[in-house]
Amino acid sequence: MAKITKLQHSEWSSRFAFILAATGSAVGLGNIWKFPYIAGENGGGAFVLVYLLCVAIIGIPIMIAETMLGRRGRQSPINTMSTLADEAKAHKNWHYVGWMGIIAGFLILSYYSVIAGWVLSYIFKAFMGSFSGGNVETIGALFTELMASPLQQIVWHTVFLGATLLIVARGVQGGLEKSVRFLMPTLFVLLILLVGYAMTTGYYQQGFDFLFKPDFNQINSDVILVAMGHAFFTLGLGMGAIMVYGSYLPKNISIAKTTLIVAGADTIIALLAGLAIFPLVFANGLETVAGPGLIFQTLPLAFGNMMGGWLFGLLFFILLFFAALSSSISLIEPAIAFLIENKNINRTKACIITGLMIWVLGVIVALSFNVWSDVSLFGKGIFDLVDYLTVNLMLPIGGLCIAIFAGWIMKAKDSEHELEMEKPQFYQLWKVLISYVAPFALIIVLLKGIGVIG
């Protein structure tokens, strides 16, 4: 049996710290920006029902697998997959799964940082009262002006990425853990405040019914595929983040129990975001199918014309910033861990090198909304291409490889020993889901992503 490399980094100080960090990795713009608008576009309660089922049968088994691989390998995703492939006497090319995760994280953070920069800009706009008394034209003009300005986007992108690097440079316990101990409870409190505010609109029940009373006639193949894809994306799987966080997990902590808590917290936050947003949409006679513009155009219009809208609009964008920051630190951490291990450099230098590379990519993405808006590759703009490559191709392929490795390549006695589930039936259920159900579902998502199936 191959020798498993000893842990080369710090560990989380407790199970609670890992739960906060992994939840922070999962909770991000996907929960608070993307989930409400795709729920609105796909039938509300019907989508939510399918989404919850997909989290249970696809998301959680893969999250357990990725965390397990990380803890057993105790290294960056690249070195972990190389070590575990050696242990299982499998082909050495499995380390490319780690490479793909790190590259996907790089690419995602390059545009994630730009979008988070928009959020920072909107915190400033909300504070200055720019939404007050606005109409469709004036609120739309704010977003159009931001999109048209390379300087504004680059400045805000730089500020956000700088904040991310300052946290990550301080290490596992001093940076990542301390930040999520503040960010996640604060995020939850802000979200509860916003849900409380939504209850005062007179349209809370309508928003609640929209999310939790499914119209089964709305469920079709498209809704199922979108729900499957988002269940995978929102948990932050396939990009190395959960694997590297798992590598910092102490040996005495149950992976399965902890993962269930993380997935539950992530799902609750997504649903609370919907409960905070949809009553405002209904109260202002706005469209639930507003799409990606829901956060940056529809909601500012609502906040600008409601009592207390100035304060709660400000709180909402601060909430969104915290969610983005908690995810961004997990996106960059796999690359940092790899540089520390393989290039024998300290964490600060690793952060500078990685940060500069992501900053340059982010500038290119920012310019794609204005100066280079006419540039296209394979029929897509730069931002759309990066988003398509990562979300539709790299993450499903990464998740599929993790499922295959955990279910078919890794020896059953090793995975069973690492997971140490209380009852054999629980392990057998996970084994079936990770070996058969999750790969089948991810292949369908992948085929949908490349347009093989409609």
Q: Which amino acid is at 272?
A: L
Give the residues across from 377 on adjacent strands: 380
Residue ranges in 45-135 assigned as alpha helix (H): 45-54, 60-73, 77-87, 95-127
Distances (CA, A) of 22 to 263, 420, 444: 9, 20, 26
Q: How many CB atoms lie within 10 A of CB 189?
A: 12
- Beta carbons of 100 and 394 less than 8 angstroms apart: yes
Query: What is the separation, in whole angstroms, between the first and last Cα of the chain?
Result: 45
Residues in the chain: 454
* Cβ-based neighbour number of residue 129 at 10 Å: 14
Entry pTM: 0.93
CA atoms 422, 426, 428, 432: torsion sign: negative
Separation of alpha carbons 236 and 215, rounded Å: 29
Residues 69 and 440: their CA atoms lie apart, in Å, by: 21
CA-CA-CA-CA dihedral for 97, 100, 101, 104, to nearest 10: -160
Residue spans of the domains in the chain: they are 15-401+429-449
CA Rg value for the chain: 21
- Alpha helix segments (H runs only) across 128-254: 136-148, 150-168, 178-199, 204-212, 221-234, 241-247
Measured CA to CA, the distance from residue 157 to residue 155 in angstroms comes to 5
Q: How far apart are CA 294 and CA 278, in angstroms?
A: 10
Range 15-401+429-449: architecture per CATH: Up-down Bundle (1.20)
Q: What is the pLDDT of residue 291?
A: 62
User: What is the residue-level pLDDT of the chain in tens, covering all 454 positions?
Assistant: 444 444 455 789 889 999 999 998 888 877 877 888 888 888 889 999 999 999 999 999 999 999 999 999 999 999 999 999 999 999 999 999 999 999 999 999 999 999 999 999 999 999 999 999 888 889 989 999 999 999 999 999 999 999 999 999 998 888 889 999 998 999 899 899 989 989 998 999 999 999 999 888 888 888 888 888 888 888 889 899 999 999 999 988 999 999 999 999 999 998 998 999 889 888 888 777 666 677 888 789 888 888 888 998 999 899 889 989 999 999 999 999 999 999 989 999 999 999 999 999 999 999 999 999 999 988 899 999 998 899 888 999 999 999 999 999 999 999 999 999 989 999 999 999 999 999 999 999 898 878 787 6
d(CA 65, CA 250): 16
Distances in Å between the Cα of 207 and the Cα atoms of 110, 200, 276, 283, 374 are 34, 12, 8, 9, 39
Place of tokens 């409960």: 275
Locate 236 and state its tokens. Answer: 């932050």
Query: How far is it, in rounded angstroms, from Cα 334 to Cα 75?
Result: 9
Q: Compute how many other C-beta atoms are within 10 angstroms of the C-beta atom of residue 452.
A: 9
Our CA angle for 237, 4, 398, nearest 5°, is 20
Residue 346 one-letter amino acid = N
Given this model, what pLDDT does residue 107 score? 95
What per-residue confidence (pLDDT) applies to 243? 96
* 10, 248 Cβ separation under 8 angstroms: yes
Distance CA 405, CA 399 (A): 10
Burial class (CB in 10 A: 0-12, 13-18, 19+), 161: buried
Q: Rounding to the nearest 10 degrees, give the CA dihedral for residues 114, 115, 117, 119.
A: 180
Closest C-alpha to 226, from 382, 450, 67, 449? 449
Predicted pLDDT at 397:
94
Percent of residues in the chain assigned helix, strand, coil, to nearest 5: 75, 0, 20
Three-class DSSP category at 373: coil
pLDDT of residue 1: 40
What confidence score (pLDDT) does residue 10 get?
73
Residues 6+ apart with CB under 8 A from 441: 54, 57, 58, 228
